[in-house]
Amino acid sequence: VRASLPLPLAGLMSDAPFEETAARLEALLASLSPAMGAFQGNPFALLSFLALPVIPALKLTDRGLVDVDAFALVSLWDSE
Q: Is residue 58 part of a domain?
A: yes
Q: Tell me the mean pLDDT in the region 50-61.
A: 74
Overall domain count for the chain: 2
**Residue 74: pLDDT over 60:** yes
Contact in structure between 5 and 25 (CB atoms under 8 Å):
yes
State the average pLDDT for the chain.
82
Q: What is the pLDDT, as a whole number, of residue 80?
A: 56
Contact in structure between 8 and 15 (CB atoms under 8 Å):
yes
Q: At 17, is the pLDDT very low, low, confident or very high (cuts 50, 70, 90)?
A: very high
Q: Is residue 44 part of a domain?
A: no
**Residue 7: pLDDT over 70:** yes
Q: Tell me the mean pLDDT in the region 48-65.
A: 76
Question: Do 54 and 33 sit in the same domain of this protein?
Answer: no
Question: Do 1 and 34 sit in the same domain of this protein?
Answer: yes
Q: How large a percentage of the chain has pLDDT more than 90?
A: 29
Range of the domain at 71: 49-80
Q: Is residue 77 part of a domain?
A: yes
Q: Is residue 24 part of a domain?
A: yes
**Residue 43: pLDDT over 80:** no
Question: Do 6 and 27 sit in the same domain of this protein?
Answer: yes
